[in-house]
Chains A and B, each alone.
Chain A
Amino acid sequence: MRKTLWKVGLSAAVVLLTSTSAYAQLATQNINATAVVAARGRITLTGAINFPDTDPFVSPTINAAGLTVQALARVAVGAGVSLTVQAGGNFVSAGDSIAIGNLTWATAGGAGFNATGTMSSATAQPVGSWTGPGAHNATQTYTLVNDWAYAPGNYVVTLTYTLTSP
């Protein structure tokens, strides 16, 4: 009786032991990832636009140190991007003024930037234009006409850069 029990047990075990289970993948799980990329822009200006006092006979024009301009725009594929600048008025010093049209600039480096421009307080002047998202960098060098007719003074004006995407 005891011997028979043992034999039965062994037979069952052998049958099970010979069965194989080949496997590689044990489990899978999915995760959904979503990234929201919204339209936004950033203008970074590095430097100062200062025109030192100079003898107009020696320097009929005065150049300021270069202004680094960075235009960053995240827009849809194919969307237009434009950078403009507009003066808040003429150069003013107390009751005196210098016409803003005496201020011009030249741009070096950076595809899409206009090579030159003349400041205006009436309309925004184009600095650069692009298509689609991107980062754009250049250096603007402003030049002021140096005229004997200017009354002495410390003249200031505000220039506003605007980055737009229609």
Chain B
Amino acid sequence: MHTALVTSAVMLLAAVAIEAQRGTALLLVNLPAQARLSFSATSVTYPDADPTTTPLVASVPVSITITVRARVQRNSQVTLTVQSTDDLRSGVTVLPASLMTWTVTGPGFAGGTLSRSAPQLVGRWTGSGVRVGTQSYRFENRWTHPTGTYSATLVYTLASP
């Protein structure tokens, strides 16, 4: 009986509550909208070519890889556009920017024709993420183009309206 009482006491000891002390902290992460545009090349050149044999001149490099990194509000739309600051210009001689067209690869990317008057859509996506595609420019080559070295600046804009 004495042994039984001692055994019961030991079992009671095993049921004693665990002592604990707690503290809390707040984890806060502020992720503002951010974006980064990367291009595998920042210039394209159309070499001279015979308009009869090469009515569309491919650019050098033949394609540009575009990487769009955007962090936006949930389900927000992300758009990439391009607009020429001017027509193609060689001194006082100009060729319409619309002579430049492009095709694309990659989800969300879109082909189009360059314009100096309005931004043209290059890609459209929904939400945050990293999108990679390629853009291949072509120049419409004509016998009616006056000789010269023409240039234009293409401005790409990544936006989330």
Say whether, besides A2-B24, A133-B144, A42 and B50 are in contact (CB < 8 Å): yes
Q: In the docked arrangement, what's the CA distance between A73 and B36, Å?
A: 45
- Whether the Cβ atoms of B147 and A74 lie closer than 8 Å is yes
Q: How far is the CB of B38 from chain A (nearest CB, A)?
A: 8
Q: In the docked arrangement, what's the CA distance between A2 and B38, Å?
A: 48
Q: Give chain B residues whose Cβ lies under 8 Å from the Cβ of A38.
A: 48, 147
Q: Give chain A residues whose Cβ lies under 8 Å from the Cβ of B153.
A: 30-33
CB nearest to A8 among chain B residues: B26
B contact face: mostly helix, strand, loop, or mixed: strand
Say whether, besides A23-B160, A26-B70, A29-B39, A73 and B47 are in contact (CB < 8 Å): no
Q: In the docked arrangement, what's the CA distance between A14 and B150, Å?
A: 56
Interface mask (A51-84 → B, CB under 8 Å = 1, otherwise 0):
0000000000000000000001111110000000
Q: Does A37 contact B (CB under 8 A)?
A: yes
Q: Does B2 contact A (CB under 8 A)?
A: no
CB nearest to B68 among chain A residues: A27
Interface mask (A14-53 → B, CB under 8 Å = 1, otherwise 0):
0010000101111111111111111110101000000000
Say whether, besides A5-B23, A12-B28, A13-B28, A30 and B146 are in contact (CB < 8 Å): no
Assuming A2-B23, A21-B33, A32-B44, what are 16 further A-B pairs, CB within 8 angstroms?
A2-B22, A6-B24, A24-B160, A25-B159, A26-B159, A31-B41, A31-B42, A31-B44, A33-B88, A35-B57, A35-B88, A40-B50, A42-B143, A44-B52, A74-B147, A133-B146
Chain A residues close to B by CB (< 8 Å): 2, 5-6, 9, 12-13, 16, 21, 23-40, 42, 44, 72-77, 132-135
